[in-house]
Amino acid sequence: MKNDSTTVYIFPGQGSQAIGMGRELFDKYPHLVRQADEIVGYSIKELCLEDPQGVINLTQYTQVALYVVNSLGYLEEVRQKGVLPDFLAGHSIGEFNALFAAGAFDFLTGVEIVAKRGELMEKASGGGMAAVIGMPPEKISQFVGGNGNNRLSIANLNSPQQIVIAGPKEDIEQAIPVLKKNGAEMVIPLKVSAAFHSPYMNDAAEEFRNFLGQYRMAELRIPVISNYTARPHQDKELVENLSLQLRSPVRWTESVEYLLEYSNPMFIEIGSRNILTKLVNQIKTEVNSIKGLTEVK
């Protein structure tokens, strides 16, 4: 730890993409961008800055774009500050940025892995997702999963007040009025092509596990919090947990709660829209509220 504080770099996932992202980075790392372009077969800079084909929101393109921009952002952050973080964490595809930063694989290997992941997830079409705002997960569980519609499941535990559900699109549509009637402030359908982080990704997860088996991951130099376990990755379980991540909930709330146990944690988001920073602040508020109630008692 540095100066009695804990530095945590966090990387956002899908939903954080925007035209213009990476504008200040591409020309600083032209050799990496050129090599990444050769792997995927198109200009990532053009995709991010102009998106002439209108594909930046398609999963197979989104994930590559975010991985490249977030990775370059991390390199620039370290170059400017000259300090490595104490912990790394990322949301869904952002977890691969955290693993790159920790030394699990080099930048170009990460491009290959993420391109395959995006391709597999794009192929698993037919499902949908929706963000449920203002309803705690234990109440959502009354209507989703074994206690309710068992074709729906919780996919992202983003904060105490933001939970994402996944499943067949028609089931999502039927669940929206039910959740609103029972206390949800909002239920927002997400622009995704499939039910990510749910059992509907089982086939993609298995194929991704086999693909990852081609690579030899290096030992992590910095602890990375796993989306699947909400605890630091163990080197020997890395490939298994990354495949399970595709079909299991992203446990972001628990991940942040774990990091909040360390001395004066400082969360730095590598991205332009502060999406994860807002979630971290919501989680901090909830944790502090619970602590306050406990202290009063």
Residues with catalytic function: 92, 197
User: What's the rounded Cα separation, in Å, for the pair 269 and 156?
Assistant: 19
| Angle, CA 151 vertex, CA 278 and CA 240 arms, to 5° | 65
User: What's the rounded Cα separation, in Å, for the pair 290 and 160?
Assistant: 12
Q: Which amino acid is at 24?
A: E
DSSP per position, 151-214: T-EEEEEEETTEEEEEEEHHHHHHHHHHHHHTT-SEEEE---SS-TTSGGGHHHHHHHHHHHTT
User: Which residues make beta-bridge pairs with 225?
Assistant: 89, 232
Q: Which amino acid is at 286?
A: E
Phi-psi region of 232 (alpha: psi -120 to 50; beta: other; left: phi over 0): beta
